[in-house]
């Protein structure tokens, strides 16, 4: 954290976009991720643009399109929002599943969605891997127990966000702001596989940042199940987000998205199909088993397959009458 | 020496023994002693200072003109610095000194050079500007690879990395094979344990200041102020009295802060170069990379028992690595806990290109007990015996026998076969047990001085250190007991080498070493007060006692403590005492046992420890509140070791991959179980206080008890720590 930088408190979204267009500028939400990267010496911004100084950017409000959550809304505030939880239980659960109370009190939804991976080789300055513009992936023959079981490389990170898979399942839209104005896109399109872009997991043009996320309420039943190695504080070993509609004993619409197992939130179409064509009770086995179809574990991470199945099974079972 | 008769043992099992105690010492406390302060729950004297931030740790020391130091550490597991260029760093803004530390790097994180600058940021920039011409060598970090004949020699030359072999006076292989052949039940299991780091919340660090007379003052986060003093004196070729080491409070050591650390020398060297005080506190990453660790172990245990459930053979073949140095022997429990006619030990330390091990809370015993007590459960299973019954048949320690009874009752051992289950078919519960064993009897030589002033103020001076265990408080309690005062009426001065000598705080030795000296010094000073005030009470000094804040004569006449002290001629009375040799006493070690109840998630392999019942003895308990605090801490650290912690090195580069608190998992609030502590009161008659240490015993049995509970829950034994979900899933055949 030694390189000097200029710190800017942005006052408006337009000003933030202008500041972020400067060379070496980075957006700051809660700082949880950025400060860690700077401390490890893998990120040295010349300008840090604080988004939390923008009035109203942290708003959580219901609109005629669903819920609009500003980029600097705190994870704690999302988890604790009673009305939002009623409409989008899975989203509240995913925010609550993040890290620790201290981090949720500081971390923002924008930062959570645009956080960088936790791969040990990426995080250590000594390794010049493909994600940092170098060559190859040292994890392939090295320590990969927590890395991806899906995806084609050349980088095998898992996307670390808890909220992202849930928001993909809920079919949320991201609202971005940049020097050329605003645009929005389905959140699933925000994330890119390393085969397309190894350097970054998401698509932001120069100067762009996340301004808000909008979540429709069309899928009223949702849940997020996260499996950790250490319950007090951990990223997901495997996670499952389900959003859908239930009629009686079965899902009429269902979206199943896996977390912690792929470089991006990983939608499982086969699990969804199995979920739709069975009663909920009968779907547990086939949907959870098929969720890992196509998985290609690395040398140390095959244990994530039963973990993933467990996450899916648990998520489906949560919809059964108790 | 005076012959004294003492009642020793534990409730329901006392006996009288005769001991020789020094004439000058007060009569030793025994089972019949009625004490007013000692044995009562008493809050830490420095507790309020700690929670309000008033307590100053080494990291809080700020001196006029103080510089901050940073260390350049090797990014390679094995490399030679052909040259270390400091010129550029020295020209950086704020930089006042730069030194070379070491050219041969034998592990990732080894200190190579260091700088001191006006700010931390300047020092970090300067470290980045040091120019090193590296010649990268061949490393080996994997313990099995390092054993091979063609492995790179970690220390160069021709010496193999594996050092050790057959222990002395050990049974032959042949004798073991014969004994096992004749056994009714046998097991042959290989257990493995990882390298774990101490992870003290307060990192290692020093603040060094050279005084105008050429003497050196160092504030140091250490378990041994005199050890640091002597180390620095040797390093700078100074007489010991020219070095003063101070440590007021400490945020954890666990053995990694015994003796002088390299950072202390670096800080003092930089301070001398810069002609200004220098502070060097290690970062969290440096703590993991170079702050010490517990060695790994690979333990093959072959054991047998006859049809009466008596052990016939215990055979341990083990190796492990403590990095570039550090013994990995963990045979203590196996060689000492149970009766067994044939016992064999073969052990080798394996040198690897990893950071050096350091003593870590019950060195060797935690690893060893995990293997031994897992073995005992497996043998009990083969014999069809209850695990406690099997242990009792082979354990001659009557304290532990009684402790099993208390613990079993509390843990619900009788209902072990029918544990309730909260999670239906996806969860399984288990209840496990493990024995504990440790020394903790204390050593002679510790000194204490008691100064009682004319105004009644009492000060105890003792060059020990309070490493967070509450030493300050128990010293005050011992003195208060002798003087009929309250603990808060006693001012305790410790943590400074200008005070009377005391040992480093390790081996659970502090309380048993220091309290007898404090008691003897206080009793002697009290005698001087009695002499001074006897005339006012119209009594003989020999017929006076101090209680309830008064000095009381045999006939009943009394005067308040302060008034009695006002009769002192001159400013004060001062008496110093030195801790004597242990008396023959009752028992020289501690026993103890723990029970763990766990719930295993059969789908995810997650282990939740629901409850730990801990029964421990430590002679006379001075302060149950502090003893329980030690036991809680030991259990949490043991749980963390059993389920979560492991240092992970990248084989290709030898670098540590999880040198932070996110990826190096330490138990947090959700992992911590309900803990029920039973303090098993023992009158041991070994010193005038009968106190023993409790710092280490409570970590010894926890991992084994948890491992046994997991095996009970899932019907499969995990032999490799930590017991992470992947291993449970594999054992359950989940794919």
Average pLDDT over residues B516-524: 98
Select from A307, A313, A314, A322 the residue whose CB has the most chain B CBs within 10 Å, as the one to mutate to test that interface: A307
Chain B touched by A302 (CB under 8 Å):
yes
- B667 with A234: Cβ contact below 8 A: no
Query: Is B359 buried (19+), middle (13-18) or exposed (0-12) by CB count in 10 A?
Result: buried
- B657 with A1: Cβ contact below 8 A: no
Residue B426 clears pLDDT 60, i.e. is over it: yes
Pair A225, A238: CB distance under 8 Å: no
Q: Quick one: closest CA in B to A121, which residue?
A: B657
Average pLDDT over residues A85-90: 98
The runs of H, that is alpha helices, within B560-690 are 561-565, 624-643
Identify the three-state secondary structure at position B372: helix
User: Cα separation of A33 and A114, whole Å?
Assistant: 9
Chain A touched by B669 (CB under 8 Å):
yes
Q: Which residues of chain B lie closer than 8 angstroms to A2, CB-CB?
A: 121, 124-125, 128
pLDDT tens by residue, B445-465: 999 999 999 999 999 999 999
Residue with tokens 């948890």: B706
Residue B544 clears pLDDT 70, i.e. is over it: yes
In this structure, what DSSP letter does residue B214 have? S
Vertex A169 angle, CA A167 and A173, to 5°: 45
Chain A touched by B240 (CB under 8 Å):
no
pLDDT at position A4: 87
Q: Quick one: closest CA in A to B732, which residue?
A: A306
Residue with tokens 């091979």: B148
Extract the runs of DSSP E, i.e. beta strands, from B204-355.
205-210, 216-220, 243-246, 278-281, 293-294, 297-305, 311-320, 343-350
User: Cα separation of B55 and B249, whole Å?
Assistant: 7
Q: Parallel, antiparallel, or unpaired for β B278-281 and B67-73?
A: parallel
Q: Which helix (H) or strand (E) holds B177?
A: helix B173-182
Vertex B231 angle, CA B227 and B232, to 5°: 120
Closest CA to B37 of B487, B560, B524: B487
Can you state the percent helix, strand and coil of chain A, rounding each to 5?
30, 25, 50
Chain B touched by A44 (CB under 8 Å):
no
B503 to chain A, closest Cα gap in Å? 38
Structural domains of chain B sorted by starting position, each given as residue range(s) with its CATH number in brackets: 65-137 (3.90.1170.50), 397-441+585-735 (3.30.365.10)
Q: Which residues of chain B lie closer than 8 angstroms to A126, CB-CB?
A: 75, 653, 655
User: Cα separation of B304 and B287, whole Å?
Assistant: 42
Q: Which residues of chain B lie closer than 8 angstroms to A314, CB-CB?
A: 603
Alpha-carbon separation of residue A202 from A213, A232, B403 (angstroms): 15, 28, 60
pLDDT at position A169: 98
Select from B121, B124, B603 the residue whose CB has the most chain A CBs within 10 Å, as the one to mutate to test that interface: B603
User: Cα separation of B116 and B102, whole Å?
Assistant: 17
B663 to chain A, closest Cα gap in Å? 8
User: Cα separation of A170 and A87, whole Å?
Assistant: 11
Q: Parallel, antiparallel, or unpaired for β B216-220 and B205-210?
A: antiparallel
Chain A touched by B668 (CB under 8 Å):
yes
Chain B touched by A310 (CB under 8 Å):
yes
- A2 with B606: Cβ contact below 8 A: no
Residue A25 clears pLDDT 80, i.e. is over it: yes
Q: Quick one: closest CA in B to A228, which residue?
A: B606
Q: Which residues of chain B lie closer than 8 angstroms to A120, CB-CB?
A: 648, 650, 657-658, 663
Q: What is the mean pLDDT of chain A?
A: 97
Task: Please compute, for residue B565, the number of CA atoms within 13 A of its CA located in the half-sphere on the CB side.
Answer: 22
**Phi, psi at B220, each rounded to 5°:** -140, 140
Q: What is the mean pLDDT of chain B?
A: 97
Q: State the CB neighbour count (10 A cutoff) for residue B493.
A: 17
Q: Quick one: closest CA in A to B640, which residue?
A: A230
Chain A touched by B652 (CB under 8 Å):
yes
pLDDT at position B289: 98
Residue A2 clears pLDDT 90, i.e. is over it: no
DSSP B286-321: HHHHHS-EEPPEEEEEEEEE-TTS-EEEEEEEEEE-
Structural domains of chain A sorted by starting position, each given as residue range(s) with its CATH number in brackets: 221-317 (3.30.390.50)
Q: Which residues of chain A lie closer than 8 angstroms to B652, CB-CB?
A: 138, 141-142
Pair B317, B192: CB distance under 8 Å: no
Whether complex ipTM tops 0.90: yes
Residue A1 clears pLDDT 60, i.e. is over it: no
Average pLDDT over residues B285-312: 98
Pair B205, B220: CB distance under 8 Å: yes
User: Cα separation of B247 and B467, whole Å?
Assistant: 9
Vertex B421 angle, CA B415 and B423, to 5°: 170
Q: Which helix (H) or strand (E) holds B187?
A: strand B185-193
User: Cα separation of A233 and B666, whole Å?
Assistant: 9
Q: Quick one: closest CA in B to A234, which residue?
A: B662
pLDDT at position B440: 84
Residue A265 clears pLDDT 60, i.e. is over it: yes
Take residue A186 and report the two structure tokens written for it.
């389905």
User: Cα separation of B88 and B302, whole Å?
Assistant: 60
Average pLDDT over residues A241-266: 97
pLDDT at position B90: 98
Q: Which residues of chain B lie closer than 8 angstroms to A37, CB-CB?
A: none
pLDDT at position B530: 98
**Phi, psi at A6, each rounded to 5°:** -100, 135
Residue A322 clears pLDDT 80, i.e. is over it: no
Average pLDDT over residues B359-381: 98
Chain A touched by B667 (CB under 8 Å):
yes
Take residue A168 and report the two structure tokens written for it.
């993909």
User: Cα separation of B350 and B328, whole Å?
Assistant: 8
Name the pLDDT band for B175 (thresholds 50, 70, 90): very high
Task: Please compute, for residue B58, the number of CA atoms within 13 A of its CA located in the half-sphere on the CB side.
Answer: 35
Burial B8-28, CB ≥16 within 10 A → b, else e: bbbeeeeeebebebbeebbeb
Chain A touched by B93 (CB under 8 Å):
no
Residue B22 clears pLDDT 80, i.e. is over it: yes
- A126 with B652: Cβ contact below 8 A: no
Average pLDDT over residues B341-358: 98
pLDDT tens by residue, A203-226: 999 999 999 999 999 999 999 999
pLDDT tens by residue, B223-257: 999 999 999 999 999 999 999 999 999 999 999 99
Q: Quick one: closest CA in A to B731, which residue?
A: A303
Identify the three-state secondary structure at position A205: coil
Residue A3 clears pLDDT 90, i.e. is over it: no
Closest CA to B708 of B382, B373, B385: B373
pLDDT at position A96: 98
Residue B561 clears pLDDT 90, i.e. is over it: yes
pLDDT at position B588: 87
B728 to chain A, closest Cα gap in Å? 10
Average pLDDT over residues A80-96: 98
- A306 with B603: Cβ contact below 8 A: yes
pLDDT tens by residue, B572-624: 999 999 999 999 999 889 999 999 999 999 999 999 999 999 999 999 999 99
């Amino acid at each position: 954290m030694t390189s000097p930088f200029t710190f800017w408190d942005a006052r408006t979204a337009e000003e933030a976009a202008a500041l972020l267009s400067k060379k070496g500028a980075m957006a700051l939400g809660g700082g949880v991720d950025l400060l860690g990267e700077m401390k490890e010496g893998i990120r040295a911004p010349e300008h840090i643009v604080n988004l939390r100084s923008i009035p109203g950017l942290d708003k959580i409000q219901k609109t005629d399109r669903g819920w609009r959550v500003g980029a600097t809304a705190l994870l704690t505030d999302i988890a604790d929002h009673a009305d939002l939880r009623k409409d989008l239980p899975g989203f509240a659960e995913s925010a609550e599943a993040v890290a620790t109370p201290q981090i949720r009190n500081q971390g923002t939804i924008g930062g959570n969605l645009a956080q960088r991976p936790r791969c040990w080789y990426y995080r250590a300055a000594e390794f010049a891997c493909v994600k940092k513009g170098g060559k190859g992936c040292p994890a392939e023959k090295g320590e990969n127990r927590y890395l991806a079981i899906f995806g084609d490389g050349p980088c095998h990170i898992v996307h670390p966000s808890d909220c992202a898979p849930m928001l993909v399942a809920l079919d949320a839209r991201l609202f971005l702001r940049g020097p050329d104005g605003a645009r929005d896109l389905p959140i699933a399109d925000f994330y890119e596989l390393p085969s397309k872009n190894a350097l970054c997991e998401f698509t932001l043009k120069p100067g762009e940042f996340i301004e808000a996320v909008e979540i429709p309420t069309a899928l009223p039943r949702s849940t997020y199940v996260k499996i950790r190695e250490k319950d007090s504080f951990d990223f997901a070993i495997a996670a499952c987000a389900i959003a859908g509609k239930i009629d009686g004993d079965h899902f009429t619409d269902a979206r199943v998205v896996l977390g912690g197992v792929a470089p991006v939130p990983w939608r499982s179409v086969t699990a969804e199909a199995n979920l739709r064509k069975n009663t909920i009770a009968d779907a547990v086995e086939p949907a959870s088993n098929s969720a890992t179809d196509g998985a290609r574990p690395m040398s140390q991470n095959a244990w994530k397959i039963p973990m993933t199945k467990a996450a899916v099974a648990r998520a489906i079972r949560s919809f059964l009458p108790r | 020496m005076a012959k004294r008769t003492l009642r020793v043992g534990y409730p329901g099992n006392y006996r009288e023994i005769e001991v020789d105690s020094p004439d000058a010492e007060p009569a030793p406390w025994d089972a019949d002693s009625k004490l007013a302060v000692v044995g009562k729950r008493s809050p830490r004297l420095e507790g309020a200072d700690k929670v309000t931030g008033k307590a100053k740790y080494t990291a809080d020391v700020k001196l006029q003109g103080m510089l901050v130091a940073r260390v350049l550490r090797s990014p390679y597991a094995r490399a030679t610095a052909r040259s270390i260029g400091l010129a550029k760093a020295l020209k950086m803004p704020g930089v006042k000194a730069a030194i070379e530390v070491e050219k041969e790097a034998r592990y990732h994180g080894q200190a190579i050079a260091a700088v001191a600058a006006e700010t931390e940021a300047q020092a970090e920039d300067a470290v980045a500007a040091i120019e090193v011409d590296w010649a990268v060598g061949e490393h080996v970090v994997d313990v099995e690879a390092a054993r091979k004949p063609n492995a790179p020699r970690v220390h160069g030359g021709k010496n193999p990395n594996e050092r050790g072999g057959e222990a002395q006076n050990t049974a032959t292989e042949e004798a073991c094979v014969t004994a096992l052949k004749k056994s009714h039940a046998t097991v042959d299991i290989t257990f493995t344990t990882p390298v774990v780091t101490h992870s003290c919340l307060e990192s290692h660090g020093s603040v060094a200041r050279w005084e105008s007379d050429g003497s050196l003052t160092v504030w140091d986060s250490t378990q041994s102020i005199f050890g640091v003093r002597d180390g620095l004196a040797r390093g700078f070729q100074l007489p010991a009295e020219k070095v003063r080491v101070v440590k007021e409070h400490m945020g954890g050591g666990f053995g990694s802060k015994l003796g002088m650390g390299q950072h202390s020398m670096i800080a003092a060297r930089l301070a001398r170069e810069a002609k200004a005080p220098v502070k060097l506190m290690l970062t969290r990453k440096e703590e993991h990379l170079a702050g010490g660790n517990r060695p790994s172990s690979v333990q093959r245990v072959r054991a047998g028992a006859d049809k009466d459930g008596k052990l016939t053979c215990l055979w341990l073949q083990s190796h492990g690595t403590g990095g570039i140095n550090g013994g990995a022997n963990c045979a203590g429990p196996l060689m000492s806990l149970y009766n067994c006619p044939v016992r064999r030990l073969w052990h080798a330390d394996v040198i690897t290109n990893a950071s050096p091990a350091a003593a870590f809370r019950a060195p060797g015993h935690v690893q060893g007990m995990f293997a031994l007590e897992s073995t005992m459960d497996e043998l009990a299973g083969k014999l069809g015996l209850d695990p406690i019954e099997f242990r009792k048949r082979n354990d001659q320690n009557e304290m532990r026998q009684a402790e099993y009874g208390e613990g079993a009752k509390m843990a619900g051992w009788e209902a072990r076969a029918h544990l309730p289950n909260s999670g239906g078919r996806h969860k399984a519960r288990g209840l496990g047990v493990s024995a504990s064993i440790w020394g903790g009897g204390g050593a002679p030589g510790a000194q204490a001085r008691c100064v009682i002033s004319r105004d009644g103020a009492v000060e105890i001076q003792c060059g020990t250190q309070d490493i967070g265990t509450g030493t300050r408080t128990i010293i005050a309690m011992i003195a208060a007991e002798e003087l009929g005062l309250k603990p808060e009426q006693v001012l305790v001065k410790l943590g400074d080498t200008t005070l009377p000598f005391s040992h480093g705080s390790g081996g659970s030795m502090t309380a048993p070493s220091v309290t007898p000296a404090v008691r003897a010094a206080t009793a002697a000073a009290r005698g001087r007060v009695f002499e001074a005030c006897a005339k006012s009470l119209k009594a003989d000094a020999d017929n006076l006692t101090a209680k309830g804040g008064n000095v009381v004569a045999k006939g009943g006449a009394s005067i308040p403590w302060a008034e009695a002290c006002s009769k002192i001629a001159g400013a004060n009375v001062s008496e110093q005492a030195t801790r004597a040799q242990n008396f023959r006493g009752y028992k020289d070690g501690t026993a103890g046992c723990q029970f763990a109840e766990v719930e295993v998630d059969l789908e995810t392999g997650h282990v939740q420890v629901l409850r730990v019942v801990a029964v421990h003895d430590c002679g006379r308990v001075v302060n149950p509140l502090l003893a329980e605090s030690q036991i809680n801490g030991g259990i949490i650290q043991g749980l963390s070791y059993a389920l979560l912690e492991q240092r992970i090195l990248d084989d290709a580069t030898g670098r540590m991959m999880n040198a932070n608190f996110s990826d190096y998992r330490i138990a947090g609030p959700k992992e911590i179980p309900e803990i029920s502590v039973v303090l098993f009161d023992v009158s041991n008659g070994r010193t005038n206080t009968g106190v023993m240490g409790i710092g280490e015993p409570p970590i010894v049995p926890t991992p084994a008890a948890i491992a046994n509970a997991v095996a009970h829950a899932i019907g499969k034994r995990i032999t490799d720590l930590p017991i992470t979900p992947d291993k449970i899933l594999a054992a359950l055949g989940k794919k």
